[in-house]
Structure 1
């Protein structure tokens, strides 16, 4: 990884730490719409163990636990994970939630074939290069059991912020301190190579609004 991109990734980690410190529980406790959708998908697939990548302060991880799943939540912000654990205790689901500080640019500290489902809301469209994104999806594939489901969301090149702000190359643009990798559709298809691509659903979120895809893909049995 180029030095400049390494520096961007570290700057983003610091920025998220500062953001969670300044705005604890910034997204509230209501789960995201993709997490609500994923719950139905996971349940239909018979999943029990869910891994969330980029869980932040935990509104979705704690929701999955409330819905009866066993949840492993990871984020590169220790501050966000502290808030997640506090929320899990408040809501009475701490026994179903474990957390780990983890940067997705590194391999997951999990064995092969160890989880039933993986969820990542806007994690893959953070300041990750295309090469790093492929590596993350490869790690997801490694830890999923046969027939496992991966639901993720990413902002795409139809978003109004695409092509504006500070350009970092590789379709990564920075606004207000937050760097985003905007996905063209062919990248979604390429990342699903060797998977069953069940759905690519366009949706909008937030006041801008942000324009995203919600992707569901399954490992063949």
Structure 2
């Protein structure tokens, strides 16, 4: 658990480092913890990317790669990133076993500027990455970086758990709408944060959907770089 200040709110930097170690050990202990099939958002995103004529995709928070593999199988060139080497190792092993071309993977900490050139991707995909243990200001900075690495007209597709989720407000309160349960910290999004992230973009859609047994309640958001 993160160290706490006098107000009882965890330090975001410390919490992020703790979460990184937690996800690393989780992937080591539970290979393919989310299954082999791609997520429903990835299937939907691939359709949107194809319709937009995208060829190159950057995935942020790829985990063990079930969605990145789906994109690669669909013919996209994919660069998958995560802060867990354990997950990316599983992704590389599966890509090698299928002899998939056009798929690369690398460690990226999204709290730092993305180590990628300007206007280098047609699309960016992030399934629940933005609702990890990131402060609102870190999320805003990350979306600014995503805008930078997208080509004009490029598509950003992301999903986040929101404040209508049953787990919102439960567990350890780290402030800034971040709550931790069972070792996993989640930043639950109010609609105002979605709108803030769309400033300077063309916001195309915000859809509510459910996932998992709870079920988790999420938004999928599609916005395009102007």
**Which of the five TM-score ranges fits, normalised by the shorter chain?**
over 0.9
Aligned: 1:66 with 2:73: yes
Aligned residue in 2 for 1:149 = 155
What is the aligned counterpart of 2:110 among 104, 124, 130?
104
Aligned residue in 1 for 2:123 = 117
Aligned residue in 1 for 2:191 = 185
d(CA) in 1 for partners of 2:162, 2:107: 27
Aligned: 1:17 with 2:24: yes
What is the aligned counterpart of 2:87 among 80, 86, 89?
80
TM-score (norm: length of structure 2): 0.95
Show the 5 A alignment for 1:206-217: 206-217=212-223
d(CA) in 2 for partners of 1:27, 1:92: 22
Show the 5 A alignment for 1:23-38: 23-38=30-45
Aligned residue in 2 for 1:129 = 135
* CA drift at 1:176: 0.7
TM-score (norm: length of structure 1): 0.97
SS at match of 1:202: strand
How far does the alpha carbon of each residue in 1:96-144 deviate from its partner, in whole angstroms, 9 at most, with x for none?
1111101100111110000000000000000000000001100000000
Aligned length: 218
d(CA) in 2 for partners of 1:48, 1:204: 28
* CA drift at 1:91: 2.4
What is the aligned counterpart of 1:140 among 146, 164, 172?
146
Aligned residue in 2 for 1:166 = 172
* CA drift at 1:25: 1.0
Show the 5 A alignment for 1:188-203: 188-203=194-209
* CA drift at 1:92: 2.6
d(CA) in 2 for partners of 1:87, 1:29: 10
List alignment gaps of at least 5 residues for structure 1.
Answer: none
List alignment gaps of at least 5 residues for structure 2.
Answer: none
How far does the alpha carbon of each residue in 1:3-50 deviate from its partner, in whole angstroms, 9 at most, with x for none?
821110000000000000000111111000000000011001110000
Pairwise CA RMSD of aligned residues?
1.0
Runs (4+) of structure 1 exceeding 6 A deviation are none
d(CA) in 2 for partners of 1:58, 1:155: 20
